[in-house]
Amino acid sequence: MSDFPHFEYQQNALYVESVPLETIASKFGTPCYVYSRAALITTYQAFEQAFADDDFLICYAVKANSNLAILNLLVRLGSGFDIVSGGELQRVIKAGGDPQKIVFSGVGKQADEMRMALATDILCFNVESAAELQLLNQIAAAMNKVAPVSLRVNPDVDAKTHPYISTGLKENKFGIPLEEAEQIYFSADQFPHIRFTGLDCHIGSQLTELDPFTQAGEKLVSLLQRLKSGNQQITHLDLGGGLGIRYSTETPPSIQTYVNALRKTLGTNKVRLLIEPGRSLVGNAGLLLTRTIYLKHTPDRHFAIVDAAMNDLMRPSLYNAYHEILPVLKRNGDLCNYQVVGPVCETGDFLGHDRKFSLEAADLLAVMSAGAYGTSMSSNYNTRPRAAEVMVDGDTVHLIRARETIDQLTASETILPA
């Protein structure tokens, strides 16, 4: 349980901080996302402490988990935010976020989103194409504004992660080739309503090795030095996010080791350093609580059919991703090899294959490391209301998102007239 220090067994019952998961299931039902406030705070502070007295800004990647309570907790801790949509911008502002700590990433920013971000006076746009830069310049001119911009460079570095979440190779849709980015920086006079303030890259998610970070960082620092030699006023270097967590047998570097590597790459260059952690901040601070509906035994396989499904946690179905699954109550008895599956009408609806439990119908299971890309990627497939979310703070449980109702799902739909 070393990867889940705030999720521990006490007398064979799994607790979150000081609260038994059985109590949460009884009060709020299942499926239910459960987060530890202490785990979030501890991880954020580990990033802060790793930077020591450096000039830095942690910009939490909102796409990992955008619940207002989580965003507000990070606001209180002093965090900035990395957003990828106008909706995420509105969430951050609603949670009390400081616009001057917001960077706006994403390959498909739309005109209304640009206007909203300019009106809000965000810290920086991470621009991903020449076409986007041209549109931003036009919109800023119409608003009599100057847009602060960091070009997102594609360094063509293999992140050595799942291909769906690798973003730094030349065949990926993200970023601008390094040579083209350099040319754009030195043609700044063509964009009178753009102010180049930073340099950015992000090469992927769930990285478990330092080498890709170092390779990308070295390419960016080399470009930074050329830009500064050409009198470009670059004040920050954004090295993105992507630090992985342990789901199974991965051995990602510690937060301190990761930050040390970034600092070493930066060398003596005097710029503010930005990072955009998401999964590494919230991934192991949450779990998905689910209850077994049926145990189904066939001549070939044994199935534990649970009330959580691919619409609640799609990572296993989408990436064949592994999540550790723990029994909420440890039973003495013979172990059986189960396929943990949900009720959705897809063979791809599974949470875990070949998990050994001593299990009975109605038993609770905890799907671990579900704090990132769990609820934020959830859907209403099969007209399934999205799960409730709760935050545990010591011995107190706060409902931070009520379970959806069918009435809410259908409220915006209309039937054609006769």
Q: Which residues contact 231 (CB under 8 A, 6 or more apart)?
A: none
Tell me whether residue 370 is in a domain.
yes
* Res 155: pLDDT: 82
Whether residue 278 is annotated as binding a ligand: the answer is: yes
Catalytic amino acids? 345
Q: Are residues 134 and 258 in the same domain?
A: yes
CATH number reported for the structural domain that contains residue 149 in this entry: 3.20.20.10
Residue ending a domain, choose from 277, 304, 328: 277
Average pLDDT, the chain: 93
Q: Is 35 annotated as a binding residue?
A: no
> For 217, what's the count of Cα atoms within 13 Å in the CB-facing half-sphere?
23
Same-domain pairing of 302 and 181: no
pLDDT tens, position by position, 341-364: 999 999 999 999 999 999 999 999
The reported pLDDT for the residue numbered 168 is 42
> 299 and 251 in one domain?
no
Render pLDDT for 6-18 as a digit per residue (tens, 0 to 9).
999 999 999 999 9
242 belongs to an annotated ligand binding site: yes
Overall domain count for the chain: 2
163 marked as part of a ligand binding site: no
pLDDT at 19 (0 to 100) = 98
Q: Which domain holds residue 384?
A: 7-36+283-410
Q: Is there a single domain that holds both residue 136 and residue 250?
A: yes
Residues 6+ apart with CB under 8 A from 54: 263, 273
Does 319 show up as a binding residue in the annotation? yes
266 and 317 share one domain: no
The pLDDT, as a whole number, for residue 166 is 45
Residue 354 covered by a domain:
yes
Other beta carbons within 10 Å of 373: 25
pLDDT recorded at residue 213 = 86
**DSSP run (H or E) holding 72:** helix 68-77
Last residue of a domain, which of 217, 245, 277?
A: 277
CATH code at 30?
Answer: 2.40.37.10
Same domain membership, residue 290 and residue 257: no
What span, in angstroms and rounded, lies between the C-alpha atoms of 32 and 9?
A: 19
Q: Is residue 58 part of a domain?
A: no
Q: Are residues 21 and 118 in the same domain?
A: no
* 213 and 294 housed in the same domain: no
If you write DSSP's letter for every residue of 209-277 in order, what string do you get? -SHHHHHHHHHHHHHHHHHHHTT----EEE----B---SSS--PPPHHHHHHHHHHHHTT---EEEE--
101's tokens: 């700590």
pLDDT in tens, 18-29: 999 999 999 999
Tens of pLDDT, residue by residue over 102-118, are 999 999 999 999 999 99
| pLDDT tens for each residue of 200-213 | 998 887 888 888 88
- Clarify whether residues 120 and 142 are in a common domain: yes
pLDDT, residue 161, reads: 52
Q: Which residues contact 399 (CB under 8 A, 6 or more apart)?
A: 28, 388, 389, 390
Query: Among 216, 243, 277, where does a domain finish?
Result: 277
- 301 belongs to an annotated ligand binding site: no
- pLDDT confidence tier of residue 175, bands split at 50, 70 and 90: confident
Task: For residues 343 and 404, state if they share a domain.
Answer: yes
Q: Residue 104 carries which side chain, given as an amino acid letter?
A: F
The CA distance from 271 to 234, in Å, is 8
Q: Positive or negative, the Cα torsion across 373, 375, 379, 382?
A: positive
Is 175 in the same domain as 206?
yes
Are 352 and 241 members of one domain? Answer: no
- 277 labeled part of a ligand binding site: yes
Candidate from 41-50, 94-103, 202-211 with smallest mean pLDDT:
202-211
- 71-87 pLDDT, tens digit per residue, is 999 999 999 999 999 99
Q: Residue 90: inside a domain, yes or no?
A: no
Residue 214 lies in a domain: yes
| Domain presence at residue 202 | yes
Question: Measured at the alpha carbon of residue 99, what is the angle toward residues 136 and 182, in degrees to the nearest 5?
Answer: 40
Residue 246, in any domain of the structure:
yes
Residues belonging to the chain:
418
pLDDT of residue 119 exceeding 80 = yes
In a domain, 51, yes or no: no
Write out the DSSP string of 39-67: HHHHHHHHHHHHHTTS-EEEEEEGGG---
